[in-house]
């Protein structure tokens, strides 16, 4: 049985003040949603604050990105080993905003995934098609290609303990959620790709849905058999809303 994971991707939002309040709200409510795993993904600079406020709480944390390099002359980058200093459990790799705005390729994303695993940080591999790609009927080809880049580099064993987030790009921050059936279909496709290589790994890999998920639609999405949680952007900036989403999955 896969435990659901509800993860908040805060993106480039917040201030020390607002994040303190948000963390306080999450901390206070987290015990009430014990059936679901929780995690938050702050901007790098607030990691210390997050670690401090969440230590001892049933909420994990991680970052939205990491460098593919170990250390050295890479101005502006953050190494995976630095995330360990802040006891990060997870790291997002290949978020569509990284892919589209910062030119991250499938190969680069796969290398970042590998770096995270090597350090013992659980990667959350984000995949998903654009509106154009969906309309052209190539959703499975795109998601399959994104997945294959990691499978080719790391093998199926890489998905033991890793997480996949299916986030249709057209649903991110648009208020336009995939229907639960649209999401379920892609989740089932992803699981089938893994199962074709190793059914045992496929049955334990958590596949999250992301894209305008909120308390009002979470119950339906999270009731689908292959949807194992959510990666929440906008709605994760409000502690009540974030916890209500988690409750819907419990």
Q: 148-176: b or e for each residue (b if 16 or more CB lie within 10 Å)?
A: ebbbeebebebbeebbbbbbbbbbbeeee
Near ligand PGA by CB under 6 A: residue from 164, 213, 221, 246? 213
Which is closer to ligand PGA, CB of 63 or CB of 156?
Answer: 63
Answer yes or no: 104 catalytic: no
Answer yes or no: 95 catalytic: yes
Which is closer to ligand PGA, CB of 9 or CB of 202?
Answer: 9
**234 touches ligand PGA (CB under 6 A):** yes
**40 touches ligand PGA (CB under 6 A):** no
**172 touches ligand PGA (CB under 6 A):** yes
β-strands 122-127, 37-41 pairing: unpaired
| Nearest-approach distance from CB 92 to ligand PGA, in angstroms | 8
| Nearest-approach distance from CB 169 to ligand PGA, in angstroms | 9
| Nearest-approach distance from CB 9 to ligand PGA, in angstroms | 4
**210 touches ligand PGA (CB under 6 A):** yes
Among 104, 129, 133, 167, the one annotated catalytic: 167
Select the span of 12-20, 132-140, 209-217, 219-227 touching ligand PGA (CB under 6 A): 209-217
Near ligand PGA by CB under 6 A: residue from 37, 129, 154, 167? 167
Select the span of 20-28, 66-74, 211-219, 240-248 touching ligand PGA (CB under 6 A): 211-219
Near ligand PGA by CB under 6 A: residue from 19, 164, 232, 246? 232
- Three state DSSP letters for the chain: CCCCEEEEECCCCCCHHHHHHHHHHHHHHHHHHCCCEEEEECCHHHHHHHHHHHCCCCCEEEECCCCCCCCCCCCCCCCHHHHHHCCCCEEEECCHHHHHHCCCCHHHHHHHHHHHHHHCCEEEEEECCCHHHHHCCCHHHHHHHHHHHHHHHHCHHHHCCCEEEECCHHHCCCCCCCCHHHHHHHHHHHHHHHHCCCHHHHHHCEEEEECCCCHHHHHHHHCCCCCCEEEECHHHHCHHHHHHHHHHCC
| Nearest-approach distance from CB 241 to ligand PGA, in angstroms | 11
Q: Which residues bind to ligand PGA, rule: CB under 6 A?
A: 9, 167, 172-173, 210-213, 231-235
Active site residues: 95, 167
């Amino acid at each position: 049985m896969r435990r659901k994971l509800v993860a908040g991707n805060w993106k480039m939002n917040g201030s020390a003040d607002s994040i303190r309040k948000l963390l306080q709200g999450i901390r206070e409510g987290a015990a009430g949603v014990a059936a679901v795993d929780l995690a938050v993904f702050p901007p790098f600079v607030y990691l210390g604050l997050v670690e401090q406020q969440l230590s001892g709480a049933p909420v994990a944390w991680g970052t939205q990105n990491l460098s593919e390099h170990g250390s050295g002359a890479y101005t502006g980058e953050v190494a995976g080993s630095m995330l360990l200093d802040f006891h990060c459990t997870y790291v997002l790799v290949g978020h569509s905003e990284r892919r589209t705005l910062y030119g991250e390729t499938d190969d680069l994303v796969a290398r970042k995934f590998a770096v995270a695993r090597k350090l013992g940080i659980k990667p959350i591999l984000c995949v998903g098609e654009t509106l154009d790609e969906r309309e052209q009927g190539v959703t499975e080809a795109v998601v399959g290609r994104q997945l294959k880049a990691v499978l080719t580099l790391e093998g199926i064993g890489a998905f033991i303990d890793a997480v996949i987030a299916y986030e249709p790009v057209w649903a991110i921050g648009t208020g336009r959620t995939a229907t639960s059936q649209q999401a379920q279909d892609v989740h089932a496709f992803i699981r089938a790709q893994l199962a074709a290589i190793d059914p045992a790994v496929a049955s334990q890999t958590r596949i999250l849905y992301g894209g305008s998920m909120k308390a009002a639609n979470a119950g339906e999405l999270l009731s689908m058999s292959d949807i194992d949680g959510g990666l929440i952007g906008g709605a994760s900036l409000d502690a009540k809303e974030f916890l209500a989403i988690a409750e819907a999955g419990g």
